[in-house]
Structure 1
Amino acid sequence: MRAYIKSAVAGLALAAFAGSAMADDVVVFKPEQETVIREYVKKEPIASITLPGVELNVGSTVPDTVELHEIPDQTYRYTVVDNRTVLVDPGSHKIIHVMD
């Protein structure tokens, strides 16, 4: 019985650690922030690219070869993939937000 309890506790600890690691990838944008971003991207359009084999999900990584474009007064960058605006952390190249 003790071995079962230890295993359960270890599993819960691992799940909590994994959940906190995934939470680090999530950036929450307020509606007004998204509006500012959408207006900027519309005003400064760039060509849409395709990235075969890359899923457009938060936490996925875009290749280092992808050109990332600045948004004034923001720490993240953007690109357009399959006609969707993708916000990317410039240091890790991880997707932090996908806009439809």
Structure 2
Amino acid sequence: MKIQLTTAAAGLFILLGVGAAAAEDIIIQPEEDTVIQEYVKKEPLASLKLPGVELNVGTALPDTVELREVPNVKYRYVVIDNRTVLVDPGTRKIVKIYN
């Protein structure tokens, strides 16, 4: 009985963790997304190579990577492996990857 309760408690913590992760999802409004894409086209950057860094939403970029500002948008951008990457400047985590 004690083992079953422990397993149930572990399952509950996993579910709560999934809910917390979902709450952290970043939602970029379509209008904001359009502003970002248009700005990035007007202000292109040279593409960087970051060996050992996987381009995934949620991956934190090293402090050595210079992030460029998008006016009136809280996110910054950089181009890595010819892909524009939108980054939260506070956490340096990737929030969106454009192809």
**Structure 1 length as normaliser, TM-score?**
0.85
Residue aligning to 1:54 = 53
**Structure 2 length as normaliser, TM-score?**
0.86
- Deviation of the 1:60 alpha carbon: 0.4
Q: In angstroms, what is the RMSD of aligned CA positions?
A: 1.7
- The alignment status of 1:27 with 2:20, answered yes or no, reads no
Residue aligning to 2:12 = 12
Q: Which has the higher contact order (CA 8 A, sep 6+)?
A: 1
Q: Percent identity?
A: 56
Q: 1:29 to 1:62 in 2, by over 3 A?
A: same
Residue aligning to 2:71 = 72
Partner Cα distance (1:22, 1:45) in 2 = 32
- Deviation of the 1:23 alpha carbon: 4.1
- Deviation of the 1:92 alpha carbon: 1.5
Determine helix, strand or coil for the equivalent of 1:46: coil
Aligned length: 99
- The alignment status of 1:3 with 2:3, answered yes or no, reads yes
